[in-house]
Amino acid sequence: MITPVSLGTWPTPLEAAPKLAARLGLAELWFKRDDLNGLGGGGNKIRKLQYTCAQAIAEGATTLITSGAPQSNHARLTAAAAARLGLACVLVLAGSPPPNRRGNLLLDGLAGAEIVWAGDSPLAEVVAGEAERRSAYVIPFGGTSSVSTQGYVDCGRELRAQVPDIGRTEVLVALGSGGTMAGLVRELGVERVVGVHTGAVSDPRATVAGLLVGEVEPDALRIDGSQVGTGYQTLTDAVRAALETTAREEGVFLDPTYTGRAMAALLAGSFPHGDKVVFLHSGGLPGLFGHPGL
């Protein structure tokens, strides 16, 4: 078992959302505020990075390399974690540089990350070349691995302590690279966790089940696919409405790719749920300021 490095402030708050609960006809709605965990603007990737960075340091790495979209939350937080730990950071981002650095891309630079643009080349191919050239530790796309999944087992344990009747409460989470949902399922059980597919992976069931080898059948996972729309980077009308509703009802800001989709699914009532829900706020606010659809 890897001992994680400390990169955040734990446990993160659990906050009631009574106005949204009333709107949805829920007895209780809570926000698990993993957007308020301290480092680099906050977000769910910090729990994962505590484990992957510990592994990198144990292997003697002095440079971290990871990849993502230009507005990747994971890339931003990898850059921040590297800065905190005194490591160099290389971010391999999809496509070509935009005319202006905004949102997460601006923060990547402030944290001192070197950005390599992949252009038309596959991200994995560019990452492999950079890693070989620099002898660096590679953190997977989205920060998800069998090691980093432990970060959301930790979160599940926090929820057990914070929510006395967690056995009758559903936890709703945006599903990207799968590690957040997988860790929660491992700790809380498959029946307690609902993942909202964001379009980040082609087969979300296989992705999550692959991180829980032998623990759960893919078909047993509770995954809602109603909010993917025309693509991962596209802002849908339902997501825009979810951003506005959450901000105006509870003063909480969501992001347009992950938490916005999760809230859109909750507002649409598109999955079976009981009357007590914890909404995992996985962060992503800086991405609002770099999203072309806003």
Residue range 168-223, pLDDT digits in tens: 999 999 999 999 999 999 999 999 999 999 999 999 999 999 999 999 999 999 99
Please report where in the chains the tokens 């790719």 appear, as a residue.
257
The answer to whether the CB of 73 falls within 8 A of the CB of 45 is yes
The answer to whether the CB of 156 falls within 8 A of the CB of 184 is yes
177 catalytic residue (yes or no):
no
Which pLDDT score, from 0 to 100, does residue 164 have? 87
Given a cut of 80, is residue 271 above it in pLDDT? no
Backbone angles phi, psi at 170, to 5 degrees: -95, 145
Closest CA to 1 of 151, 140, 136: 151
- Mean pLDDT of the residues in the chain: 95
Which pLDDT score, from 0 to 100, does residue 232 have? 79
Q: How many CA atoms lie within 13 A of 270 on its CB side?
A: 19
Q: What is the distance between the alpha carbons of residues 289 and 294, in angstroms, rounded to a whole number?
A: 8
Q: Where are the beta strands (DSSP E) in 85-163?
A: 88-93, 114-117, 137-138
Q: Which two tokens stand for residue 206?
A: 């296989």
Given a cut of 90, is residue 290 above it in pLDDT? no
Given a cut of 90, is residue 233 above it in pLDDT? no
Given a cut of 80, is residue 293 above it in pLDDT? no
Q: What is the distance between the alpha carbons of residues 155 and 152, in angstroms, rounded to a whole number?
A: 5
Q: What is the distance between the alpha carbons of residues 144 and 67, in angstroms, rounded to a whole number?
A: 12
Closest CA to 40 of 5, 73, 87: 73
Which residues 6+ apart lie within 8 Å of 264 measured at CB? 196, 227, 236, 238, 239, 241, 242
Residue from 72, 145, 148, 282 carrying the catalytic annotation: 72
CATH of domain 14-43+146-288: 3.40.50.1100
* Confidence band for 134, pLDDT divided at 50, 70 and 90: confident
The answer to whether the CB of 277 falls within 8 A of the CB of 26 is yes
Would 14-43+146-288 and 45-143 be classified into the same CATH topology? yes
Closest CA to 155 of 185, 132, 177: 185
Q: Is 45-143 in CATH node 3.30.365.10?
A: no
Q: What is the pTM of this model?
A: 0.96
Which residues 6+ apart lie within 8 Å of 193 measured at CB? 170, 171, 173, 181, 184, 185, 222
Backbone angles phi, psi at 257, to 5 degrees: -105, -45
Q: Which two tokens stand for residue 268?
A: 């649409």
Ordered by start, the domain boundaries in the chain are 14-43+146-288, 45-143
Q: What is the distance between the alpha carbons of residues 118 and 141, in angstroms, rounded to a whole number?
A: 14
